[in-house]
Structure 1
Amino acid sequence: MERDATVQGAAAALASLPLMGPRRLRAVVDAWGFTEGWARVAAGEARSHPHVAEAMGNDAGELARRWAAAARGVDSEEVARTHREAGVEILVHGGDRFPPALADDLEPPVVLFARGDLRALDGPRVGIVGTRRATAGGRQTATELGRDLARAGVRVVSGLALGIDGAAHRGALHAGSGDDGRPGGPVVGVVGTGLDVVYPRRHADLWREVGERGLLLGEVPLGGAPTRWRFPARNRLIAALSDVLVVVESHERGGALHTVEEAQRRDVAVMAVPGSVRVGSCQGTNRLLVEGATPALSAADVLTALDLSSCDRLPLDVPVVADPPSRPAPRSATDPGPRRASPPVAAVLEPGDADLLAHLGGEPVPLDRLAVRAGIDLGELSLRLARLELAGRVVRHGSAVEEVS
């Protein structure tokens, strides 16, 4: 397949058309390829292929006219040159530099726009996501997770949004600013706008730093404004790029939980930070724990899920998760991690941990029922169960737990 400026420009020009989402763009390219697809659309012939017409929906005629009008006078090679001069690389699916993690995805993007170093995608990658309306404790947790994972050489992937996303990126970027001088790892920011359209605007400095020290990546060409429908598409890229996805804080609905759904579709391990049931921004994460997500009490837990627990760049006995003042900070622990079996390791139990065993009764008990029996909230229950699991006293079965006999 051609991968010159003509193809790149056609891909970018197609992606810039109004309401040209990933599904419609895929239909056009599958039908005709990049250069012919651009020519057909510019000539008002988008409906001439049945698969493209189907992707365009009920208003295909009006949409075809809008596309043709928007394409009028646009030189696709000039589009490619504009991106190149702005320091933005156009990556077409099937090209040599297209990220392998996305090339083989369930819904691979047709074209990507990148600013920075693609080597930021090399090595283990952890997605850290959560609500924009995070608590101070949640932001601190995200910062410390990002920092310590980056110190361990993990690539932190997030969406550069307010709240949890931005905190995780800042932690990773500033990982080398401590007294020990250990460098951080590259970060990956996945965005839903053109790489020249900073959103949110207050993250302008963060965008610049991510592009300079890591990688900015998205499906939207230069000039693409923030549009609501683009962000679910962005979330699937975060999930696809993640070896493990960590949710720090989430309400019962929101973009973070959509990213979880995309991760589950791809068999990506999902972890969640426990929180108080009295805090609205912890309701979604606590529900994930009830449904079987693995508690993330520290960066060490995440490294174990990545099979990096032997990494010597992060002492595994250093707790990194900062909890809200309303509940005690957990002692550090190394969780067995999702989808992997590990032998029990030494764990320090706290008063009340072993009392949970009396409520199990020798059979698997759902977490929400166990919380009622024990008279504690789901956040505290998850912390206690994590320590018991590390001590080899209990075992998780999805959203239930059972005492080890």
Structure 2
Amino acid sequence: MDNEELAAWLRLQLTPGVGNETARRLLAAFGLPGDIWNQSFSAWQTVTNAKTARALQSVPSALPVAVKRLRDWLDESPAHQLVTLADARYPAALLNTADPPLMLYLRGRPEVLSHVRKLAIVGSRNPTPQGETNARQFARSLTQSGLCVVSGLALGVDGAAHAGALEGGGPTIAVVGTGLDTVYPQRHAPLATHIAENGLIVSEYPLGTPPLAAHFPQRNRIIAGLCQGTLVVEAAVKSGSLITARCAAEQGREVFAIPGSIHAPQSRGCHALIRQGAKLVESAQDILEDLQVVDKVDRLSDPAPDRLSPPGDDLLEAMGHDPVGLDALKARTGLETAALQARLLELELDGQVSRMPGGLLQRVSTG
């Protein structure tokens, strides 16, 4: 794409009042952006309103800088690419949604965008230890079965899902709410580099776009739109993860949810989704069967991520699956405080128990 064509697309994106919907109407009416800018004011008015037509008459002041920045970024690496609505590489699954982005900025391996089977895994930025473990284990297992995991690079469940997918040896796609010259959150910079080397980072936002709060709910429609289905691991009742699930349902895609403790706030969003018709899942196999990735097989060949520690550990049995306090454990086990704390420390060091806020402890599956 030469600079003139880049400028034509960027002008469409940067013109005030021209959102994705208006841009698509203009493209449908006049063809490529270069043809749009050759039209008259009256022609623009037949597609949009007078205010927007007047905005189309002016070249955005930021355009020259934006074109140079994008040109330099594209020339910097073959891993940096731009896919527009007119590009044959634009993913069909996203094109067939209510609000496909005008352009997709890519960093990584562009061919991953055409991966046939994709599943979104989303959830809380502050998951329980079990929730984070579930996200990682589900992602790893699903990737090993041939799915491409898509998430949003956020802290918590998103990061665990990307990490699990990479552990599974497959690509993963991160859809972000900033320009691709910015990594947010910054602590995920190493993870972002790993994703770009083995998968793909995607954004609809121009280079230089900071992490604005309004962008993250918007990017969720892309996460859902790229995928056959969406798995919600943990989520509060009001959360971005439920926005992703709603987008998936509105687009006719599958919605899956992992149930959790009735006492955990992070589980209430999943329980609400299940009441509304989301499919309750206990293992990666449930998803693979539903998406017809594999035929039904003996469940013993694919243990659920919540497979518990070896039987016979009375303390783990006494803990159950919900967060529990030290006093309750003393009452259940009859152990003295010193003996109980020593055993809990062993289990914690072994990765089978995790400490939670408020002095609570929770059993963690090791899958």
**What TM-score do you get using the length of structure 1 for normalisation?**
0.67
Q: Is the 8 A contact 1:141 1:321 kept in 2?
A: yes
**Which residue is equivalent to 2:243?**
258
Sort the Cα spacing of 1:255 and 1:38 in 2 relative to 1 into closer, same or farther, 3 A.
Answer: farther
Query: Residue 201 of structure 2: which of 202, 216, 222 is its match?
Result: 216
Deviations 1:258-307 (A, max 9, x none): 11111111111111000112111111101111122111211111111121
Tell me, yes or no, if structure 1 residue 145 matches structure 2 residue 138: yes
The Cα of 1:116 is off from its aligned counterpart by 1.6
Q: Distance in 1 between matches of 2:214 and 2:38?
A: 26
Q: Give the distance between the partners of 2:17 and 2:210, measured in 1 at CA.
A: 12
Partner of 1:241: 226
Q: In structure 2, which of residues 73, 82, 86 is the aligned counterpart of residue 83 of structure 1?
A: 73
1:15-58 deviations in Å (ceiling 9; x for gaps): 35567643344345445542254688xx9x799535443895xx
What is the Cα deviation at residue 245 of structure 1? 0.8
- The equivalent position to 2:158 in structure 1, one of 154, 161, 165, is 165
Q: Distance in 1 between matches of 2:280 and 2:273?
A: 9
Q: Deviations over 1:306-342 (max 9, x none)?
A: 2123499x9843222479x87549xxxxxxxxxxxxx
Q: Which residue of 1 is the match for residue 109 of structure 2?
A: 117
Cα distance in 1 for residues equivalent to 2:161 and 2:237: 21
Say yes or no: does 1:98 pair with 2:115.
Answer: no
Which residue of structure 2 lines up, in the alignment, with residue 279 of structure 1?
264
Distance 1:81 1:147, change over 3 A: same
The answer on whether the counterparts of 2:124 and 2:236 sit within 8 Å (CA) in structure 1 is yes
Counting only pairs closer than 5 Å after superposition, residues 23-102 of structure 1 correspond to structure 2 as 23-30=21-28, 32=30, 33-37=32-36, 49=45, 51-53=47-49, 68-71=60-63, 73-74=64-65, 76=67, 78-87=68-77, 88-102=80-94
One of 280, 299, 303 as aligned partner of 2:284: 299
Partner of 1:358: none
CA shift, 1:154, in A, is 1.1
**CA RMSD across the alignment:** 3.2
Query: Which residue is 1:350 aligned to?
Result: none
Count, aligned residues = 308
SS in 1 for 2:263: coil
Q: 1:309 to 1:227 in 2, by over 3 A?
A: same
| Structure 1 residue 107, shift from structure 2 partner | 2.2
Query: Match for 1:101: what amino acid?
Result: A
Change (3 A) 1:50 1:281: farther
Question: What is the aligned partner in structure 2 of residue 206 from structure 1?
Answer: 191
Find the aligned partners of 1:250 and 1:152 in 2 and give their Cα distance.
25
Structure 1, residues 173-205: CA drift from partner, whole Å, max 9, x if none?
Answer: 122xxxxxxxx2111111111111111111111
| 1:317-336 to 2 correspondences below 5 Å | 317-321=302-306, 327-328=320-321
Mark the runs of 5 or more structure 1 residues left unpaired by the alignment. Answer: 176-183, 330-405
1:308 maps to which of 293, 301, 309:
293
Runs of 4+ in 1 over 6 A off after TM superposition: 63-67
Conserved? CA contact 1:190–1:234, under 8 Å: yes
Deviations 1:97-118 (A, max 9, x none): 2222223333222211111223
Matched residues in 2 for 1:278 and 1:305: separation? 29
Note if contact 2:14-2:60 (Cα within 8 Å) is conserved in structure 1. no
Q: Contact 2:171–2:199 (CA<8 Å) still a contact in 1?
A: yes
Shift of 1:79: 4.9
| Unpaired runs of at least 5, structure 2 | 309-315, 323-367
